Amino acid sequence: MRQIFRFLTITILCGAFWIFPAAATPADIAGDGLAAESEEADIPDTPVSYDLPAYEDGAVKVIGEVQRHIVAPEDTLMDIARAYGLGYVELRAANPGIDAWAPVPGTALQLPGRRLLPRAAQEGIVVNLGEMRLYYFTEDGEIETYPIGIGREGLQTPLGKTEIVRKLVRPSWYPTPRMREENPGLPERVRPGASNPLGEYALYLGWPAFLIHGTNRPWGIGRRVSSGCIRMYPEDVKTLYPTVEIGTRVTVVDQPVKLAWLEDGLYLEANPTRRQSDEIETEGEIPRRLLDSALPKELEALILKEAKSGGLKKKEVDWTTARATFRARSGMPVKIADAKEPEPELSDETEDTAEVEKTEDSDT
């Protein structure tokens, strides 16, 4: 399900949920052949830069609202995520420790629908790898957002700017030489159909061999499982495809940690790192060994810089909440400082009274 928001006025459109033929099962995940490897913990995490660009003037900084879902019998987190337009890791990060396949009926789940927007030009398509989410800024002032699947370790989706150069309905899939070397059973061409991993719609990027496309494995959305392409739920790419024109700008950034001033204060949003995401997928939460014990100096400096831009001093930032938010990595924005109260304006009468008092003081 897509989520649509308008610039300046934020509106949540809650339409009917998609109906799926069957619930996800562990076999759906295993069938990808892309489950996290046990040696993954030995691979260094992807470096993160906290040198974020400033928001452009007039930029929308936040969209959506946190919602709640009461688990029903036979619910799985996979199906709940898909019904609400969320990715798998995104939902598990907001609800650590919940059994993915048999959540207890009656459990209240947080649905992380509120999110700070990435710091990037708000035009065309913006992909934020750090939260595994795509944003589409339409010509008529709406913001659509969708969960995505992205490239796994060693096959990361590239960063930078490109554009849509081609569109195709029911594309054929041509496995790369590397894929056929790893899996000699792959044919040179996979025609459109249920076995085609590109799904029914494909948007080709200016970077050769990289696409935004559907999938025949929807349970990989919100996970790092692709060979670098950007995967979408079939129903999401079906909605996006006709509205995106050839030549549409595409910007890919990696901002797992976001910071923004909203009307009532300064907010911090922290999404899981790659290694943390792998653990959330398999274990349902971030293990103690991967929890951050302190804020990185670069992030602390960025928070202080943003606080000062709002007229605050270092002591006016709730550093305890900032550290807890960064450590939890729930993917939901949390306020870490209150907005500074504006100075009261003096009325003409108040100014006259002050002037009289000043004159009397000078006479004495």
| Residue 213 appears among annotated catalytic residues | yes
Residue type, 51: D
Catalytic residue (one of 115, 119, 213, 275): 213
34-77 pLDDT per residue, tens: 322 323 334 456 677 888 898 999 999 999 999 999 999 999 99
Q: Which of 282, 160, 132, 155 is nearest to 226 (CA)?
A: 155
> Tokens representing 116?
């700070």
**pLDDT reported for residue 174:** 83
Residue 205: predicted pLDDT: 95
CA distances to 89, 130, 280 from 275, rounded to whole Å, are: 12, 12, 9
Give strand pairing partners of 163.
249
**Residue 2: what pLDDT?**
59
335-345 burial code (b ≥16 CB/10 A, e <16): bbbeeeeeeee
Token duo for residue 256: 């797992």
User: Does the pTM exceed 0.85?
Assistant: no
Dist CA 279 CA 37 (whole Å): 10
Over residues 208-234, mean pLDDT:
89
Question: Residue 128 and residue 27: Cα distance in Å, rounded?
Answer: 29
**Mean pLDDT for the stretch of residues 1-26:** 39
pLDDT score for 154: 53
Question: Distance from CA of residue 61 to its chain's centroid?
Answer: 13
115-125 mean pLDDT: 97
- Would you say 70 and 110 are in contact if contact means Cβ atoms under 8 Å apart? no
Q: What is the H or E stretch that residue 318 is in?
A: none
Q: Tell me the CA distances in angstroms from 113 to 5, 91, 211, 236, one per residue in order.
A: 11, 10, 26, 16
**In 18-87, alpha helices (H):** 26-30, 77-83
- Tens of pLDDT along 316-341? 999 999 999 999 999 999 999 999 88
What was the pLDDT predicted at 100? Answer: 95
Per-residue pLDDT at 196 exceeds 80: yes
Per-residue confidence band for 302, with pLDDT thresholds at 50, 70 and 90: very high
205: its two tokens? 């990027």
User: Which residue of the set 229, 250, 260, 286 is catalytic?
Assistant: 229
User: Is 14 labeled as catalytic in the residue annotation?
Assistant: no
pLDDT of amino acid 48 = 79
Q: What is the pLDDT of residues 257-291, one digit of tens each?
A: 999 999 999 999 999 999 999 999 889 999 999 99
Query: For residue 15, is pLDDT > 60?
Result: no
- Estimate to the nearest angstrom the gap between the alpha carbon of 85 and the chain centroid: 12
| Alpha-carbon distances, residue 98 vs 58, 63, 102, 225 (angstroms) | 39, 26, 8, 22
pLDDT tier, 109 (very low <50, low <70, confident <90, very high otherwise): very high
Q: Where are the alpha helices (DSSP H) in the chain?
A: 26-30, 77-83, 88-94, 177-182, 234-240, 274-283, 297-309, 319-328, 348-363
Residue 49 confidence (pLDDT): 80
Question: What structural domains does the chain harbor?
Answer: 3-253 (2.40.440.10)
Percent of the chain scored above 90 by pLDDT? 64
Distance CA 148, CA 129 (A): 9
Do residues 54 and 117 touch, judged by C-beta distance below 8 A? no
SS3 105: coil
Mean pLDDT of the chain: 84
- pLDDT tens for 178-195 read 778 888 888 888 899 888
